[in-house]
Structure formats: C-alpha cells, structure tokens
Amino acid sequence: MEEARSVSGSFPGFLEAGDLDGKDVTLKIKLVREPGPDDKGLDGKPMDKPIVVFEKARKEWVLNKTNARTIRLLYGDQFGAWKGKTVTIYPTTCKAFGETVACIRVRCVNPDTGEEPDLF
C-alpha cells in the first residue's frame, strides 16, 4: 500500500487557496480558456466560468467575478490581452453562501512595475 503524500496531490484539479501555502504567488498567464465538457466543480456540475492557465503551473484556476474585475483593472477587458502578463495571487478568506471560506484573491498591483492601476 502506498502512502498519500499531500492533500493537494490527492485531490488534483483546479487551484485552491490551500495550494498557495499562505504566501503570495506571482504567476504568468499563458491563456484564459472557456470551460470544456470535462471541467466540473466540486459538486460535479459543469463549470461555467473562464479558466486561467498559468505558465509553469500544475493546476489551472477558475476565475470568479471579483478576480476577473481586478485583473481587468490591471490589463484590460479582453482575455487575449492578459496573455504573458503576471498577476500576484494570495490566499485569504471571504464570505460566500453565508459562511467564511478560504479563497484566492488578486493583488491590485502590476507585479512587473509595482504600480496600481489608474482608476480614473
């Protein structure tokens, strides 16, 4: 019998807050793709949100509205413009469905320049 090595290794799939080990992680976006028929959530239902593929990352990341809007502030509305751009993501908690849960958020700072977006 082989011993399991890690939680994230035992449950492969999409990137989760626990995969970040409590740290900020800066990654380069390879592309943003539409979900396919094999992409399912933890509840087994088909995925309906865009999926971010990072360069040199084992897992993809399901993009929610909050994080999509933050990246839009940094790099624009078109997913194609995000290719090759870097984002810094970090684990935190947020309110969802009436409870506090672990989640991933995007730092609203361009990691390459250290600049915040011009909001006005």
Condensed to tens digits (0 to 9), the pLDDT of residues 39-63 reads 888 778 888 999 999 999 999 999 9
Please give the pLDDT value at position 5.
Answer: 56
Residue 48 to residue 107: CA distance in whole angstroms: 24
Q: Can you tell me the distance from the alpha carbon of 73 to that of 19, in angstroms, rounded to the nearest whole number?
A: 25
Residue ranges of the chain with per-residue pLDDT less than 70? 1-12, 119-120
Contacts of 90 (CB under 8 A, 6+ apart): 20, 23, 24, 25, 104, 105, 107
Average pLDDT, the chain: 88
What CA–CA distance (Å, rounded) separates 28 from 11? 23
